[in-house]
């Protein structure tokens, strides 16, 4: 039987690239997201191209009840989840602390932090029973250094960093690997979401530089998940060569 990976936020960007990478290596893939039409399209593409089984689950990771309802009622053949990739997440707005939207703050914290907590707790009992599993959390360079106008997005990713460390400690006894991946600029729909559909501002994020792609991050995650049972990569910060951290980017003139 093929191993199983569950990827949250697989309708776009890094999550979608991870789904393709793992499917190409004969994993059966559980893909999640809120956009049903996108899930259907990804499902069809993966099944056709890679001949693996795909289970699309449409829910909002902020909705605790929906998360547990969907993940506790998986069909028998999907219950043995080997790898969970907590990828669903977003930034909303880029504003000074005193001017940022508090609704945006709540959505970021509810998605990036609460969503990760709910999905992890829903998946963990099976991993604990089997004494085996690997959870990959998507942090960010924003979770390593705070930058101007990053306030609550940065805080949510600092929380992902802290939770990854905490999970690694508390789940040691259950033989569960925890890997945190902290990317710099990756060209996905991230900036379009952050700037609320303003395509010009979104594109300017990547002006004068060569950003990472979703596939770059998927390759890195797949590498971490392909290591022998006794090896765990704890933490990776990965940036474009033209980026030092969340603050310093060298742009071509
Ligand atoms: P995208 O916007 O391209 O993808 C985000 C994915 O998350 C989508 O599939 C979206 O699906 C899903 N998602 C968002 N909110 C929810 C929700 N409430 N419930 C369920 N799914 C949700 O961005 P990226 O691929 O770039 O981002 C993926 C992760 O990587 C995020 O956690 C982000 O913070 C992190 N990251 C991104 C970086 C970048 O520069 N791009 C750098 C560092 C970290 P749908 O809309 O269908 O629900
Ligand atoms: C996304 C990278 O630098 O825009 O997490 O915060 S950054």
Supply the pLDDT for residue 127. Answer: 98
Residue 185 covered by a domain:
yes
Residue range(s) defining the domain that contains residue 102: 4-238
Query: What CA–CA distance (Å, rounded) separates 94 from 202?
Result: 11
Query: 103-155, pLDDT tens digit by residue?
Result: 999 999 999 999 999 999 999 999 999 999 999 999 999 999 999 999 999 99
CATH number of the domain to which 53 belongs: 3.40.50.720
Token pair 């547990």 in the structure block, residue: 68
Query: What CA–CA distance (Å, rounded) separates 157 from 182?
Result: 9
User: Which residues are tagged catalytic?
Assistant: 153
Task: Looking at the CA of 183, name the nearest ligand.
Answer: 1
Residue nearest (by alpha carbon) to ligand 2 atom 3: 246
Residue 244 covered by a domain:
no
Ligand 1 within 6 A of CB of 86: no
Residue 135 covered by a domain:
yes
Query: 3-26, pLDDT tens digit by residue?
Result: 999 999 999 999 999 999 999 999
Count of domains observed in the chain = 1
CA of 139 to the centre of ligand 2 (A): 9
Residue 233 covered by a domain:
yes
Residue 234 covered by a domain:
yes
Residue 250 covered by a domain:
no
Query: What CA–CA distance (Å, rounded) separates 55 from 115?
Result: 19
Query: 157-177, pLDDT tens digit by residue?
Result: 999 999 999 999 999 999 999
Residue 252 covered by a domain:
no
Task: Looking at the CA of 249, name the nearest ligand.
Answer: 2
Four-CA torsion 51, 53, 59, 65, nearest 10 degrees: -170
Q: Which residue spans within the chain are E strands per DSSP? A: 4-7, 28-33, 54-58, 83-86, 133-138, 176-183, 235-238
Average pLDDT of the chain to the nearest whole number: 98
Residue 248 covered by a domain:
no
Query: 205-218, pLDDT tens digit by residue?
Result: 999 999 999 999 99
Residue nearest (by alpha carbon) to ligand 1 atom 23: 190
């Amino acid at each position: 039987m093929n191993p199983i990976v569950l990827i949250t936020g697989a309708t776009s960007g890094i999550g979608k690239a991870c789904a393709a990478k793992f499917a190409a290596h004969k994993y059966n893939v559980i893909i999640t997201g809120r956009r049903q039409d996108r899930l259907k399209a990804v499902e069809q593409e993966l099944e056709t191209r890679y001949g693996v089984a795909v289970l699309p689950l449409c829910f909002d990771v902020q909705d605790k009840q929906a998360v547990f309802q969907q993940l506790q009622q998986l069909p028998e053949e999907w219950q043995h989840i080997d790898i969970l990739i907590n990828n669903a997440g977003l930034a909303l707005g880029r504003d000074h602390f005193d001017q940022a939207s508090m609704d945006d703050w709540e959505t970021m914290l509810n998605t990036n932090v609460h969503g990760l907590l709910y999905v992890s707790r829903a998946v963990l009992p099976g991993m604990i029973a089997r004494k085996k599993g690997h959870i990959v959390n998507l942090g960010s360079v924003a979770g390593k250094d705070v930058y101007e106008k990053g306030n609550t997005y940065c805080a949510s990713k600092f929380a992902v960093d802290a939770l990854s460390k905490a999970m690694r400690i508390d789940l040691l006894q259950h033989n569960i690997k925890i890997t945190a991946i902290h990317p710099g600029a990756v060209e996905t729909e991230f900036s379009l979401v952050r700037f609320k559909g303003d395509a010009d501002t979104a594109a300017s994020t990547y002006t004068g530089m060569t950003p990472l792609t979703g596939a770059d991050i998927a390759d890195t995650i797949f590498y971490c998940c392909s290591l022998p049972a006794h090896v765990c990569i704890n933490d990776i910060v990965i940036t474009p060569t033209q980026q030092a951290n969340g603050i310093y980017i060298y742009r071509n003139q």
